[in-house]
Structure 1
Amino acid sequence: MEPLLYQLGAAFSVGLLSSGHCAGMCGGLSAALLSGSNERTFLKALALSAGRVFSYAVAGFLVALTASALTQLAEAKHWIVTTQILAGVMVILAGLYITGWYRGLTYIERAGAGIWKRLQRLAKAFLPIRTIPTAFCYGLVWGWLPCGLVYSTLTWNLSAEAAWHGAAVMFCFGLGTLPSMLSLGMLGNRVAKLLSNRGFRNLAGGFVIALGLFTLLSALDRSTWF
């Protein structure tokens, strides 16, 4: 398994460099929910993102917990190599998704669309967002919005040594998204336009692809199958 520190750093990098994607997918919603530029608006934006990041951590914990149980049923070395290969492929797909060169992750997002439709009913109970606790609760639901980048990062947790490792990886991914999402909520279209710049997305996506290739090659180097 890749060192936990590497996974934490890579997850943070993917979150940070997915700013352009976040701007397109969630920027409009964030700006609509939290218009304005005063201190209270910032606190609500922070609470909204805190709820979202907490949901990512819960998802990472559950995936890692499930994977740990499956590891007991399979030969550990083969399982770890297989999941590393899958993680590398998924991160490469995430990089291609960020650049817009290939949108294959949208097919994975569609798999979660049905669940999100049900969760939207729950989310409506917290609208309009007038208080900080309400913003946090809405963020808890928002964190389960189908997202290919979230799903690709979750695959790293299939080889986690402990459930809390999965939570930590997804927490770092969420932290990486904070700068863009907080600025989108406060500044709206001006920041969204910058983050959606083609050059920025190509550069960010290229870096994520490089991370995926490193993960994939590391897994192949350790495998005794090839």
Structure 2
Amino acid sequence: MSGISLFPVFLVGLAGSVHCAGMCGGIVGALSLPRRPAPLLRAPAFPVPVRSETAAGGAALAYVGAYNAGRIASYVMAGALAGGLAGGAASLASLPALQAGFYWAANLMLVVLGLFLMDAWRGLASVERAGQALWRQVSPLLRRVNGAPAGGARMFALGALWGWLPCGMVYSVLVTAMLSGSALDGAGVMLAFGLGTLPMLAALGLAGARLRALAARRAVRLACGLAILAFGILGLARAAGGLPPGWMHELCLSVGRSI
């Protein structure tokens, strides 16, 4: 990587996945082999029908795995696009002032995300609403794929499309992908983030409603929000010169040796 520390990105995905539990946990828990038609599920604020299905054991594990592989693949693609767009202006991105500006923006987004998860400030909700324009283009494809025969390919496609659901948490990490300055590094940032969300969403697909109820508890969301808020504050303090380099690099978003 070009200086981006992936460990904090992974931890942001891990802590922020409590938001995933509310946004698409019900959908993930419903993905498995079809036995009989069931009522349609709807994601909060973004109504896209996905049929509820039930299965057991290895089939459910394989389907949840395929769904999450597709979801993470869409994150990697978005990261590559974000990093590539920033890297396309290489002559500008190499300027210290612009590089520092991206760094401040990335850590400010972590602060905003932490406050969002804590329900202390809902500013990211407006960002999610702004993403509905893209979602309107994707959602018809989701309906079409949902009607295809059951199988791992269908689950992968559903996950890949669902990964473009307007999500403030994903958008906040995409700022870090832009900070990377290249398509490859941007893809790496979003891969680390996607892997961080994997334990929660994989467990949701297998454990279902009980885990969703746990993730929805205020104490859990508060703890996860505080963790992400701390990452953002540490990064901002380091950017301002208030924290020394060294081990702190592993806990802060950073780029290059100058930050």
Alignment of 1:201-216 (within 5 A): 201-216=221-236
Judge conservation of contact 2:86–2:93 (CA < 8 Å) in 1.
no
1:144 aligns with 2:164: yes
Per-residue deviation, 1:60: 0.7
Q: Where is the helix percentage greater, Structure 1 or Structure 2?
A: 1
More displaced, 147-156 or 181-190?
Answer: 181-190
Q: Is the 8 A contact 1:36 1:186 kept in 2?
A: no
Query: TM (normalized to structure 1)?
Result: 0.91
Task: Return the offset for 1:219.
Answer: 2.3
1:119 deviates by 0.6
Partner of 2:84: 65
Which residue identity lines up with residue 193 of structure 1 in the other structure? A
3-state SS of the aligned residue for 2:88? Answer: helix
2:58 — aligned with what? 39
Equivalent residue for 2:240?
220
Contact 1:20-1:197 at 8 Å conserved across structures: no
Judge conservation of contact 1:71–1:79 (CA < 8 Å) in 2.
Answer: no
The one of the two structures with greater contact order (alpha-carbon pairs below 8 A, sep at least 6) is: 1
Deviation per CA, 1:46-97: give whole Å up to 9, x if none.
Answer: 1101001011011111111111122424661011100011111101111111
Question: What letter matches 1:86 in structure 2?
Answer: A
Structure 1 position 173 matched with structure 2 position 193: yes
Q: 2:211 aligns with which of 183, 191, 195?
A: 191
Q: Do structure 1's residue 50 and structure 2's residue 69 form an aligned pair?
A: yes
C-alpha distance in 1, partners of 2:157/2:64? 12
Task: Tell me by how many angstroms 1:217 deviates.
Answer: 2.0
Runs of 4+, deviation exceeding 4 Å: none
Q: Deviations over 1:149-203 (max 9, x none)?
A: 0000111122214321110110010001111111111221111011112111111
Letter in 1 for 2:3: P
Distance 2:216 2:2 in 1: 31
One of 133, 152, 168 as aligned partner of 1:132: 152
- Between the two proteins, the alignment pairs up a number of residues equal to 220
After superposition, the Cα gap between the structure-2 partners of 1:75 and 1:17, relative to the gap in structure 1 and judged at 3 Å, is closer
Distance 2:30 2:136 in 1: 19
Counterparts in 2 of 1:207 and 1:88: CA distance versus 1, 3 Å:
same
Post-superposition offset of 1:3: 3.2
Greater Cα shift, 124-133 or 101-110: 124-133
Cα gap change, 1:196/1:86 in structure 2, threshold over 3 Å: closer, same or farther? same
> Whole-Å Cα distance in 2 between the matches of residues 139 and 74 of structure 1?
33
Letter matched to residue 130 of structure 1:
A
- d(CA) in 2 for partners of 1:86 and 1:207? 18
Q: Which residue number in structure 1 is paired with residue 182 of structure 2?
A: 162
Q: TM-score, normalised by structure 2?
A: 0.80
CA distance in 1, matches of 2:87, 2:238: 21
Aligned to 2:3: 3
Q: Of 89, 111, 116, which residue of structure 2 is paired with 1:92?
A: 111
Q: Which moves more between the two structures, 190-199 or 128-137?
A: 128-137
| Aligned counterpart, 2:13 | 15
- Equivalent residue letter for 1:209: L
Q: Percent identity?
A: 36
Larger Rg: 2
2:42 matched residue in structure 1: none
Check the 8 A contact 1:12/1:176 in 2, yes or no: yes
Q: Deviations over 1:103-134 (max 9, x none)?
A: 11011111110211221100112215610011
